[in-house]
Structure 1
Amino acid sequence: MDWDKLRIFHAVADAGSLTHAGDALHLSQSAVSRQIRGLEDSLNTTLFHRHARGLILTEQGELLFDATRAMAKRLDTATARIRDSEEEVFGELRVTTAVGFGTLWLAPRLTKLYDRYPDLKIDLMLEERVLDLPMREADVAVRMKEPSQADLIRKKLMSIRMRCYASKTYLEKRGHPETLDQLSSHRIICQAPSAPQVAGGASLIHKLLANDVGSTLTVNNYFGVLQAVIHDLGIGVLPDYLIEEFPNLERVFPDIESSEVPVFLAFPEELRHSKRVAAFRDFVQEEIMAHRRSIRELRERDEDI
């Protein structure tokens, strides 16, 4: 298939007009039209419905546009990687992490990264599914367990624990339980034990729900759990890194927590020399060090009170 014709087809499909595509490509409308007719002839199909208001893709045209759009994105990504230099950090970086960590810890800190590298474009993919880094579903992953995929560079960033928290308003209204057998008059907010989550969190949830709990609310990610907790709905199972950002939360059952949950950063071996990956890695490590200092200062302050 003629790559030049595909490039012109993509421009026309994107613009919805021969004229606008020609302007973008610095070609005459007639030249663009000839290329499109030639592509349709080679494929023995019609790619556009033509009418007075412009062009609309046919079903076959939609299939081809999906393919050229994916090709264009991969070419843009490859171009940005090739242009990586020691002095500049720019282009797209696809980062994947869990919904809770990405929403509650990472996203609020990205202002600092963009201030440092204004030409960086981050595609933040928040999902519990573990994307395949060697197959390039993402460039960098931050995960709550050590990656098992081969050919990855990995670094342990920190460890977290799942703990029980409630808002001060909720505890003033419903009382501060001291033991698990007092849960009968409280609501537990957590992920469902069967939902994809860190093993330590699931074990803690099983331990809590083994008691006579008055009521439950299950949510499929920690962001939803947090929203319910800060709106005074009950006692939530949440990661301990939230206490810095949400000082109105109080810990419940201070002697009960999950096992240690490691947080890893990983990326494919082939991106070892990528300036964008290095910039993101260094930024995350700096923010974790700052986070640790803040937590330490909070603990020291609480001990002094």
Structure 2
Amino acid sequence: MEDTKSLALFYVADGHRLEQQSWLLAASLAAAHAGDERVRQFAYVTKANRAGMQAATLAIFEACNVEVRTLAETPEWKKPYPHGNKIVAACDDRGTSHSVFLDTDMACTASLAEFMDLPADTCAAAPEGRPTWGGKNARWTRAYAHFGMSVPEERVTLLRGSKVEYVPYFNAGLVAFPETRHDDGRRFGEHWLDTALDFDRNCAIANKRPWLDQITLPLTMKRFGYKTRVLGERYNYSLSNRADYAMTPDAAILHYHRMKFLYQAPQWPALRDTLLDMMPGAHRDAAVAHIQDIETSLEADAKSASI
């Protein structure tokens, strides 16, 4: 790992759908960090899909200085868990002092360079929107007890709905962490994978999927002594099913989930133009067609709803 501060922004772009989402993410990250040589981008793809990557994906990655890496072999989850690819990617050594994982259904509007100032014992993530797991049958108590721990006394404010106070529970769409090796020789990603595999295989508790990554994130933090910087909506603003998109704040990260939500946000025109400006000319038609398909389908849906 380098002695000076540096930051890896990484995501999983495995398969056609995630590849197309990654075009906008790569372009928006490149624009937000233009001129900052401390920040690097990495896209992870499985060995099975790497040979078939779309030409437009490779072109935008080259334009945005994204390094493509092959994911390590899938670990032995109790049942298939594609979401686990983010944890596998987190284990990779990118040679930077800090890393930020991002879901591909995100767009960036401001620099994330501040995350390279995280202390060696501190991770950062935003609370989940709603209590999607653990609210019944004392599941959090049982989850912590599996590792010989008690549920933390601190609470976080969830970011959607009635914004309830809840046990530490974070959206795993953006997770920032230091790459410091601990006394056991392992880094945060390896601690997260160890926790997730153990919990998946050995803890008899229901409904782990698709939330296994989010369940084990706070478990990992407590188990290995990480402190948490609790982020606000600015760093993981969920756009899904908002009542008034004109009120979308000036967030650094928009987590749009589906393009129909991003299309309604006031940031969309600038983000669209950033993608088209950065896509190399030979592949711009593919990007234009992709955007037109999205906009046409959404406009048709709007007309249908108004009839």
Q: Same fold (TM over 0.5)?
A: no
More strand by share: 1
TM-score normalised to the size of structure 1? 0.21
Task: Return the index of the structure with the highest Cα Rg.
Answer: 1
More helix by share: 1
